[in-house]
Amino acid sequence: MEPEDAIITTEYGDGVLLEEYKGTYSLTAIRRGQNDVNYKQWAFSQVWKNKKFIPDEKARPIHIKLGKDPMSVLKKLAAELNKMEKK
């Protein structure tokens, strides 16, 4: 998917973008900006160094990795959502 094909999930312009890299699928956080342009959201992750967490030197897109079989992960997520709705 290209950023312009992102799935917008909130009225505030938040959304997700399905991406694939070397056979591994992930959901990337997207934010709709001005002029209806979608941008990946970036963050500095934390790394464990010298017995403490410190911000990584490089910002990276925010990803949730679904692995090589994303359909099974999405089915499990759908089942969990169904459980939550029944409560």
pLDDT at residue number 81: 94
pLDDT at residue number 4: 86
pLDDT digits (tens, 9 = 90+) for 9-47: 999 999 999 999 999 999 999 999 988 899 999 999 998
pLDDT at residue number 11: 95
49: which 2 tokens? 């160094």
pTM: 0.80
CA distance 5 to 38: 9
- The 3-state DSSP class for residue 75 equals helix
pLDDT at residue number 77: 94
CA distance 45 to 8: 24
Question: pLDDT at residue 86 above 90?
Answer: no
